[in-house]
Structure 1
Amino acid sequence: MTTVVARYPRLKKWLRPVWRFVNSRRPKLARKSEFPARVVRGVRSRYLRISTMFLQNAELMRQRLPLLRAASRQGPFSRIGTNASGTEVVMLVVSDLRIDPRVEREARALAEAGYEVTVLCPEPSDGAGESFKIDWGPSVSIKWLNWTAASFVSESPGYVGNQLYAAAVTLKPFAFHAHDLNTAYVALAAANVTGAHLIVDFHEWFSENVHWDSGRKEYLPYPQPWKRQLQKLEARCLREASATVTVCDSIADAMNAELGGKRPLVVRNIPNIHRSPTKKYPPLKEQLSLDQSTFVLLWQGGTGPTRLIEPIIQALEYATKCVLVIRGPSLDLFGEGYRKLAAEIGAEGRLILLPPVPSHDVVAAARGADAGIWTLPALCRNFTFALPNKIFEYLASDLPVLAADYPEARRLVSGNQVGLMFDPYDPKSIARSINKLIEQADLAARLRANIGITLASLDAGREWQRLVEVYKQLPRR
């Protein structure tokens, strides 16, 4: 940014007093009840975003490049893929790379196939990116952008990322690879300008997802005007992108039927079960100093209001021989509520809360439990169509799976006879599944025996090679 400012001395002169004013007024304003510190921080954050966008737009105009909205307009002659050459792939991401294994798996797969992958990603917080020391191999580079470059995701429609576009459009790769719909608009515009190919990977079905309603303090489906905007962009991607990818057949089929265009290729989130962990883990019961006869049910993954863990805890009232272990992030925020719920049913001694382990370690750290459990609330089709990492990870840890009775989970778990299904809102239904595994040793043994057969058919290398084949089939200039 300093380089850009130096080219526009009048702009620099105008911005300096504004910035000084906000900084100088902060201590005074924060002391007044009508100007709390959070308001001042919000003003500074918004000023930083606006001034950064202003500078970057000025730089784009200096280079005679169109701005984001102009570049993304639909027209009769799309330039996507018309000037694609070389081996560079630019991935656009706004998630936390430390906990988004799908981005890593795709980047590594393409790098192993001979592509040079650049990942453009805003830092989760100011200056934090370099401290993560992310290393995905010699052919994958991470380019961190200022944290404000991700601020657009919380503002309707959630995909107009001017700063991300400014960083992307100056590059001339073989393809722009958008991770999720929130970066697809930017990638579409950049591909239109440069003539690169456009790949859109729908990690989620965005228009069928939920968002945080700050007024009601809960997650809700998108209101119809916002949802229509998301659907319009999804339909454009299905029509105009060189290729689209998603995580399961239910989402691919429904998007194709309802939005038209080309059906997305399905690349499931199958982890590399042979990856070495960062350290050695003893079996889970040994980690927790539990007797080997104790039945341990493991929840490993995110926590909070969109996870529907509460009915699992309530099921302990009816599954009295079960110890539930919850291992995941944000337990400093939600753990006390979970403990209180367990205490209300007299199960506080059978609930164990543990901090998360690195994503490379989840399989090794889970071994030694008796079963893994997964659920989500039926708030939207994006949830009920989910086929999450953790089901594959439980299987890789040799754990039978207890899963909410949704289509994709049922297809994998019941279809391969590696676990049992339950009603996600009914603690007694969950308890019945737990008690079956506890009381029917032959059933548990049969499910566990089927895991090896299932894993043999779920080859991670073959799954991610499907993405590589998509790239190989793209035309070159």
Structure 2
Amino acid sequence: MSRKRVCLVSPGHVSCNPRLLKEANALHDAGFHVRVVAGNYSAEARLLDESILPQAPWSWTQVTLGAKPTYLMRRLWQELARRVATTGWIPHLSVAIWAHSSMSAKLAKAAAAESADLYIAHCLAALPAAAFAAQKHHAKLGFDAEDFHIGELTDTPANQTEIRVRDRIERTLLLRCQHLTAASPGIATAYAKRYGVNMEPILNVFPLAEAPATTERQQGDRVGSEPSLYWFSQTIGPGRGLESILHAIGQMQTPVRLHLRGILIPGYSEQLMQLAQEVGVGDRLHFLPPAPPDQMARLAACHDIGLSLELIQPRNRAICLTNKIFVYLLAGLPILMSLTPAQQEFAKQLGEVALLVNINDSAAVAVALDSLLSNPAKLQFVRNQARKLGKGIYNWDLEQQHFVKFVEEVLQ
């Protein structure tokens, strides 16, 4: 019997979507024929792609923005679609698709170029593309919700057009999906309440092979010998709780350094550095370059405490469990977690490994960090506990079994 074929589709770079990479590798190892269709438009991310794709065991297609004239034409179509959507009336699904993303059409063409038994979309712009390919090849359709996409927007007048656009896409296409997964129980619940669909939670955990080889803390690319707080993301920008943590650091008794890893939004480093100087820690803020997904746990292990500073607005941040949490566990780091509904619930599973705080109360955050960092024995204990949780429960070696079984059931 021939191997089943699965195509994963994403508008972003493969290096910016470790969840897609993990799924592609897991399906390949389980005996599926895997193809990845992903975006290619950022110079920084392209360099990281080049460290991943040549070694990939599955086939892949990269979708660029295209020649300038065709790119500008797609942007014109997008602008026209958005103007129609702004009226409050979306006469056809295609209007919503164009209004949301000018990349969906190119992704659809690339995804449909080869047949598959199942097309799984990652990120909302990929859902119409995967749906088009699945319809063309009479295949099954899937969607992986790493975020609650309507919940990424605050419910303000300025966002109503985009909220209508996203709702039209999801309300139409999610009901066509046979495979639906979500990155947290909270996201799965949010989709169930809004659209009446059932999503299988698949946590954003990481392979044991990516864990540090030793429990001893290495210097890595951290700066200085003082205790280090660590945070990473694809991009470093506002609305991520970083300003709040700087205020807390300014009130701490322990001299700590803050290391941030990712691609900086233009102008944001100057804003953050100015704030750091205002609170008296300008010499202790450090920006680190982005790195391949499979290096994240080892790089995190160089630090002392991981930061998961999600906000309660927009709603998506309140209900997500980001990959940061699971990288920190695999790296053996205690986690300072903001008091969101999702993190508050998950902290019950982590015990003393989690420092659950209201990040808007900078004095309380400072006390919590000082209390742990001033007790080396306690810090080592919670580091060991974090590592046990990462290696024993929250890792992709275990979670991928659940994911692969779900795909196999869909394709029966």
Interval containing the TM-score (normalised by the shorter chain): 0.7 to 0.9
- Pick from 209, 230, 240 the counterpart of residue 298 of structure 1: 230
Q: 2:271 aligns with which of 324, 337, 345?
A: 337
Please give the alpha-carbon distance, in whole angstroms, between the structure 1 residues aligned to 2:374 and 2:215. 28
Tell me how far apart the structure 2 counterparts of residues 475 and 186 of structure 1 sit (CA, whole Å): 20
1:32 corresponds to: none
Can you list the C-alpha shifts for 1:397-450, whole angstroms capped at 9, x where unaligned?
211100111122223334321121111333223212212213455653543343
Counterpart selection for 1:179 from 122, 128, 141: 122
Output one character per residue of 1:310-344: Cα deviation in whole Å (capped at 9) or x when no partner: 11111122113131322312347422222211111
- Report the equivalent of 1:371: 305
What is the DSSP-based 3-state SS (H/G/I as helix, E as strand, rest coil) of the residue aligned with 2:53?
Answer: coil
Aligned partner (choices 242, 248, 260) of residue 184 of structure 2: 248
Contact kept in structure 1, 2:10 and 2:126, CA below 8 Å: yes
Q: In structure 2, do the counterparts of structure 1 residues 258 and 467 end up closer, same or farther at CA, with 3 Å as the change threshold?
A: same
Shift of 1:267: 0.7
In 2, distance between residues paired with 1:186 and 1:221? Answer: 29
C-alpha distance 348-289 of structure 1, shift in aligned 2 (>3 A): closer
Please state whether the residue corresponding to 1:185 is helix, strand or coil: helix
Task: For 1:287 and 1:380, locate their aligned partners in 2 and report how far apart those are by CA, in whole Å.
Answer: 33
- The equivalent residue for 1:117 is 34
Given candidates 134, 137, 140, the residue that maps to 2:58 is 140
Distance 1:112 1:98 in 2: 20
Whether 1:357 aligns to 2:275 is: no
- Cα separation, partners in 2 of 1:208 and 1:287, compared to 1, 3 Å: closer
Conserved? CA contact 2:240–2:311, under 8 Å: yes
Give, in whole Å, the separation in 2 of the partners of 1:133 and 1:445: 34
Q: Are 1:406 and 2:340 counterparts?
A: yes
> Structure 1 vs Structure 2: percent identity of aligned residues?
23
Distance 2:216 2:240 in 1: 27
Q: Helix, strand or coil: the match of 2:350? A: coil
Report whether the alignment pairs 1:223 with 2:159.
Answer: yes
Say yes or no: does 1:158 pair with 2:100.
Answer: yes
Distance in 2, Cα, partners of 1:406 & 1:424? 10
Write the letter of the residue equivalent to 1:179. Answer: H
- Contact 2:27 2:404 (C-alpha < 8 Å) held by counterparts: yes
The residue aligned with 1:232 is 168
How far 1:280 moved relative to its partner?
11
Alignment match, 2:92:
none
Q: Which has the higher contact order (CA 8 A, sep 6+)?
A: 2
Q: What is the TM-score of this pair, normalised by structure 2?
A: 0.82
- The residue type equivalent to 1:363 in the other structure is A
Cα shift at 1:355: 2.5
8 Å CA contact 1:207–1:231 kept in 2: the answer is yes
CA distance in 1: counterparts of 2:156 and 2:59, whole angstroms: 36
Q: Structure 2 CA distance, aligned partners of 1:327 and 1:303?
A: 8
Q: CA deviation at 1:384?
A: 0.9
Gap change, CA 1:362 and 1:270, over 3 Å in 2 = same
Q: Is contact 1:237–1:244 with CA below 8 Å preserved after alignment?
A: no
Letter of the 1:322 partner, please give it.
Answer: P
Q: CA shift at 1:276, angstroms?
A: 7.2
Q: Is the 8 A contact 2:210 2:297 kept in 1?
A: no
Please state how far the C-alpha of 1:260 moved relative to its aligned partner.
0.7
After TM superposition, the structure 1 = structure 2 runs for residues 377-416 of structure 1, keeping only pairs within 5 Å, are 377-416=311-350
> In structure 2, do the counterparts of structure 1 residues 256 and 315 end up closer, same or farther at CA, with 3 Å as the change threshold?
same
Q: Is the 8 A contact 2:333 2:387 kept in 1?
A: no
| 1:288 shift after superposition | 4.7
Report the equivalent of 2:10: 93
In the alignment of these two chains, the number of paired residues is 381
Letter matched to residue 272 of structure 1: P
Give the 3-state SS of the residue equivalent to 1:234 in structure 2: helix
| CA shift in 2, pair 1:220/1:137, >3 Å | farther
Report which of the two structures shows the higher radius of gyration computed on alpha carbons. Answer: 1
- Relative to structure 1, is the Cα distance of residues 154 and 434 closer, same or farther in structure 2, using a 3 angstrom cutoff? farther
Using a 3 Å threshold, how does the CA distance of structure 1 residues 221 and 434 change in structure 2: closer, same or farther?
farther
Determine the structure 2 residue equivalent to 1:471: 407
